[in-house]
Structure 1
Amino acid sequence: MDFLRPTTLDEALTVKAERPDAVPIAGGTDVMVELNFDHRRPAALLDLTGVAELAEWASESDTGSDTGSDSARSRVRLGAGVPYTRLITDLARPLPALATAARTVGSPQIRNRGTVGGNLGTASPAGDTHPVLLATGAEIEIASVRGTRLVPADDFYVGVKRSVLAEDELITAVHLPTATGPQQFAKVGTRNAMVIAVCSFAIALEPGRVRAAIGSAAPTPRRARAAEDFLAGELPWASPVPLRDSVKRRFGELVASVAEPIDDVRGTAAYRSHALAVLARRTLGWAWQEFLDKHRKDDACA
């Protein structure tokens, strides 16, 4: 097995073009497990830990957003090599749901090594950050010697552990809008820590708009669009009041309806569907309470 270690992004892209069979490795939290259990034996490893550009994040502005506004909206460009630990410590305020998901990943040692870029590279349906990327409208920055492209998270996943990534491309960054409303993430596992999700769910609320997504309950992470449309029309945005139980319950049912769960060693299909409905109700309750509290605080200060 060849071990390739570029020191710049240009060099990494050149190597990947010359050796498309080379498997990228940064934190190694997934790749090394596969190697240790002899589930994979690639011809070459492409070590990206020496590429400083991948380990940086920066704030940026985005003129016009998917809400249709012409005003500039703040975004974060998160390098593919930024570890979960830094995401938690540096970006919990602008990216609250992503930081919450990062806190659930493995042990402290894993969070010190693992990255969102690696999560995307494996494209596992159980990846903890995937529902958040979908719910927040993230875009994936992909580069090769042929150029750079931005792929909406909605279009990134194409099958079980498969993505739109071409064999000569590398994931270089993720672009995420900063939160302008409550965001939540939750998952169910067989224990409280160091666990692969049985199912997971993320929600992002902004006045007039809802985005929600599931993970580990279908061949790919996916949006719950019917649930989004239902809830957007039910939430009393202008004059917030506590939500009716019937709204939460229906939202949970619609979220669970988009799942295509299976029975496996972590849980049954029936349990996954039930748990998703529960997670959806709970996270909606938390997010709406945050929205309600902020509205009341703003009224008190007015």
Structure 2
Amino acid sequence: MEFLRPATWREALAAKAEHPEAVPLAGGTDVMVEINFDHRRPTHLLDLTRIGELYEWEEDGGAIRLGASVPYTRVMEELRGPLPALALAAHTVASPQIRNRGCVGGNLGTASPAGDAHPALLAAGAEVEAESVRGVRRIPIDDFYTGVKRNALAPDELIRAVHVRGADGPQQFAKVGTRNAMVIAVCAFSIALHPATRTVRTGIGSAAPTPVRAKAAEEFLAAVLAEEGSWDGGGALPPSAVREFGGLCAAACNPIDDVRGSAAYRRHAIGVLARRTLGWTWESYLGGSVQPGEGAA
């Protein structure tokens, strides 16, 4: 195994072009586990830890450009306002030590269906900034996941940043696991209300071969809010609409049975998470102060 350690982003792109099979290493919280357990033996490791710009984020016109290596701890501490669902997801990642190292860029590169950042990124409508020596492109998050642990990156591309519009409405994230820390999600769900466009977006994790959105549920809820005049007039959501939303979210899943949970349980749990998070986000939209874990199911 050859260890490549570029000092600049340009050197990293050149190294990736010369060795397309090289595996990027930033936080190392996924890659090193696979290597330690002999599940992976790459010919080249591409260490990106010396490239300072990957650890920076900036805001421009209400949009956040999040460097690929910004650790989850900083997302929690610095971006809870503009990226609330992603900050909530970051809070559920493993332990403090892992959150100090792990990053959204690594989550995207691994593209595991159980990755904690994916549902929040889907709900927020993020874009992935990918670059190679051939140039830069931005990949909509909906097009990024192509299969189990597969993504839309070309062999010579690296993830440089993630672009996310700052929240224009409440967002939530919740996941189910066997305990509250150091656990891979049995399933996870995120929702974002976008009052500026009067749309709803969702994200589902660990309940299909890739992270997915519940598009039928989004369209249904947006139609209900429009028909009821709720975007402007507020008021309680019809219980029947909340139940239907949960059912449509569950129907969007395509889960499997594994050691962490059965397909039937995952589908049921996504329905429950969808109803709960919808309750929390709607209470927030109405001006309440509901915290995760509170609110009607």
Give the TM-score band, short-chain normalised.
Answer: over 0.9
SS of residue matched to 1:218 = coil
Task: Output one character per residue of 1:181-213: Cα deviation in whole Å (capped at 9) or x when no partner.
Answer: 000000001111111001101100022211112
Question: Aligned partners of 1:16 and 1:265: how far apart in 2?
Answer: 36
Superposed structure 1 runs of 4+ greater than 6 Å apart:
none
Deviation at residue 247 of structure 1 after TM alignment = 1.2
Aligned to 2:47: 47
Deviation at residue 234 of structure 1 after TM alignment = 1.2
Aligned-pair identity in percent equals 67
Do structure 1's residue 183 and structure 2's residue 171 form an aligned pair?
yes
Match for 1:221 among 211, 215, 236?
A: 211
Match for 1:230 among 209, 214, 220?
A: 220
Deviation at residue 43 of structure 1 after TM alignment = 0.6
Aligned to 1:33: 33
Question: Which amino acid letter does the alignment assign opposite residue 256 of structure 2?
Answer: I
Question: Aligned partners of 2:262 and 2:215: how far apart in 1?
Answer: 24
Aligned to 1:264: 258
Q: Are 1:24 and 1:47, in contact at CA under 8 Å, matched by a contact in 2?
A: yes
Question: Which amino acid letter does the alignment assign opposite residue 211 of structure 1?
Answer: R
Q: CA RMSD in A?
A: 1.0
Aligned to 2:20: 20
Question: Aligned partners of 2:52 and 2:109: how far apart in 1?
Answer: 18
Aligned to 1:120: 108
Aligned to 2:201: 211
Aligned to 1:169: 157
Question: Which amino acid letter does the alignment assign opposite residue 226 of structure 1?
Answer: A
Deviation at residue 238 of structure 1 after TM alignment = 1.3
Question: Aligned partners of 2:167 and 2:110: how far apart in 1?
Answer: 26
Question: Aligned partners of 1:50 and 1:213: how far apart in 2?
Answer: 33
Question: Aligned partners of 2:142 and 2:22: how far apart in 1?
Answer: 26
Aligned to 1:147: 135
Aligned to 2:284: 290
Deviation at residue 103 of structure 1 after TM alignment = 0.3
Question: Aligned partners of 2:263 and 2:77: how far apart in 1?
Answer: 35
Question: Aligned partners of 1:42 and 1:237: how far apart in 2?
Answer: 51
Question: Aligned partners of 2:208 and 2:194: how far apart in 1?
Answer: 26
Question: Aligned partners of 1:47 and 1:99: how far apart in 2?
Answer: 26
Question: Aligned partners of 1:164 and 1:209: how far apart in 2?
Answer: 26
Do structure 1's residue 3 and structure 2's residue 6 form an aligned pair?
no
- Where in structure 1 are there 5+ consecutive unaligned residues? 62-73, 295-302
What TM-score do you get using the length of structure 1 for normalisation?
0.92
Question: Aligned partners of 2:245 and 2:203: how far apart in 1?
Answer: 12
Question: Aligned partners of 1:31 and 1:206: how far apart in 2?
Answer: 35
Aligned to 2:294: none
Q: Are 1:59 and 1:77, in contact at CA under 8 Å, matched by a contact in 2?
A: yes
Deviation at residue 244 of structure 1 after TM alignment = 2.1
Q: Are 1:7 and 1:52, in contact at CA under 8 Å, matched by a contact in 2?
A: no
Question: Aligned partners of 1:165 and 1:280: how far apart in 2?
Answer: 30
Aligned to 1:98: 86
Deviation at residue 220 of structure 1 after TM alignment = 0.5
Task: Output one character per residue of 1:98-118: Cα deviation in whole Å (capped at 9) or x when no partner.
Answer: 000000000000000000000
Question: Which amino acid letter does the alignment assign opposite residue 40 of structure 1?
Answer: R
Do structure 1's residue 85 and structure 2's residue 79 form an aligned pair?
no
- Where in structure 2 are there 5+ consecutive unaligned residues? 289-297
Aligned to 2:292: none
Question: Aligned partners of 1:237 and 1:12: how far apart in 2?
Answer: 47
What TM-score do you get using the length of structure 2 for normalisation?
0.94
SS of residue matched to 1:293 = coil
Question: Which amino acid letter does the alignment assign opposite residue 228 of structure 1?
Answer: E
Question: Aligned partners of 1:275 and 1:286: how far apart in 2?
Answer: 16
Q: Are 1:143 and 1:172, in contact at CA under 8 Å, matched by a contact in 2?
A: yes
Deviation at residue 134 of structure 1 after TM alignment = 0.8
Q: Are 1:227 and 1:255, in contact at CA under 8 Å, matched by a contact in 2?
A: yes
Question: Aligned partners of 1:10 and 1:237: how far apart in 2?
Answer: 47
Question: Which amino acid letter does the alignment assign opposite residue 200 of structure 2?
Answer: V
Pairs within 5 Å for 1:125-136: 125-136=113-124
Deviation at residue 21 of structure 1 after TM alignment = 1.4
Question: Aligned partners of 2:287 and 2:162: how far apart in 1?
Answer: 31
Task: Output one character per residue of 1:119-166: Cα deviation in whole Å (capped at 9) or x when no partner.
Answer: 000000000010111111100000000000000000000000000111
